[in-house]
Amino acid sequence: MRGEEFNLQDRLPREFDGAGNPRVTPEVTRDVCLLARMMAANMYFSKMADLMFELSMWRCNDELRAREPYRIILGDVRDKLYNTCERARQILSKGISSIPEDQTYTNVEQFLEPLELCYRSLCDCGDKLIADGSLLDLMRQVSTFGLSLVKLDIRQESERHTDAMDAITTHLGIGSYREWPEERRQEWLVSELRDSFGAYIISMATAPSDVLAVELLQRECGVKKPLRVVPLFEKLADLQQARATMELLFSVDWYKERIDGKQEIMIGYSDSGKDAGRLSAAWQLYKAQEEIVGVAERHGVKLTIFHGRGGTVGRGGGPSHLAILSQPPNTVNGSLRVTVQGEVIEKSFGEENLCFRTLQRFTAATLEHGMNPPVSPKPEWRRLLDDMATVATDEYRSIVFQEPRFVEYFRAATPETEYGRMNIGSRPSKRKPGGGIESLRAIPWIFAWTQTRFHLPVWLGFGAAFRHAMQQSDAGGGLARLREMYDEWPFFRVTIDLLEMVFAKGDPGIAALYDELLVPDDLRPFGEQLRANYVETQRLLLQVAGHKDLLESDPYLRQRLMLRDSYITALNVCQAYTLKRIRDGGFRPETRAPLSKELLGSSAVAEKLVKLNPNSEYDPGLEDTLILTMKGIAAGMQNTG
Q: Which of 235, 274, 287, 505 is flagged as catalytic?
A: 274
Per the CB < 8 A criterion, the answer to whether 157 and 203 are in contact is yes
CB 425 within 8 A of CB 419: yes
Measured CA distances, 352 to 25, 44, 341, 346, 348 (Å):
32, 19, 18, 11, 10
Q: Which residues pair with 264 in a beta bridge?
A: 304
Radius of gyration of the chain measured on its C-alpha atoms: 28
The amino acid at 377: P
Q: Is 608 a catalytic residue?
A: no
CA atoms of 25 and 21, how far apart (whole Å): 9
Comparing CA positions, the residue from 581, 590, 591 lying closest to residue 618 is 581
The residues with which 555 forms a beta bridge, in sequence order, are: none
Handedness of CA 307, 311, 315, 316 (dihedral sign): positive
Those residues whose C-beta lies under 8 Å from the C-beta of residue 229, and which sit 6 or more positions away, are 199, 200, 202, 211, 214, 215, 218
Coarse DSSP helix, strand, coil percentages of the chain, rounded to the nearest 5 percent: 65, 5, 30
Going across the sheet that includes 154-157, the strands are 154-157, 199-203, 228-233, 262-268, 302-308, 337-338
Cα distance between residue 457 and residue 445, in whole Å: 8
User: Residue 41: CB partners within 8 Å, gap ≥ 6?
Assistant: 81, 82, 84, 85, 88, 105, 147
C-alpha 175/C-alpha 598 separation (Å) is 66
Contact in structure between 413 and 595 (CB atoms under 8 Å): no
Q: How far apart are CA 494 and CA 322, in angstroms?
A: 7
Residues 294 and 99: their CA atoms lie apart, in Å, by 52
Helix (H) or strand (E) holding 542: helix 524-545
Distance CA 20, CA 205 (A): 15
Instruction: Mention every residue, 6+ apart, whose C-beta is less than 8 A from residue 256.
Output: 250, 299
Distance CA 86, CA 94 (A): 12
d(CA 497, CA 168): 51
Cα–Cα distance for residue pair 192/250, rounded to 1 Å: 18
| Phi, psi torsion values for 202, nearest 5 degrees | -105, 105
What is the C-alpha separation between 209 and 183, in angstroms, rounded?
Answer: 9
Which residue numbers are catalytic? Answer: 274
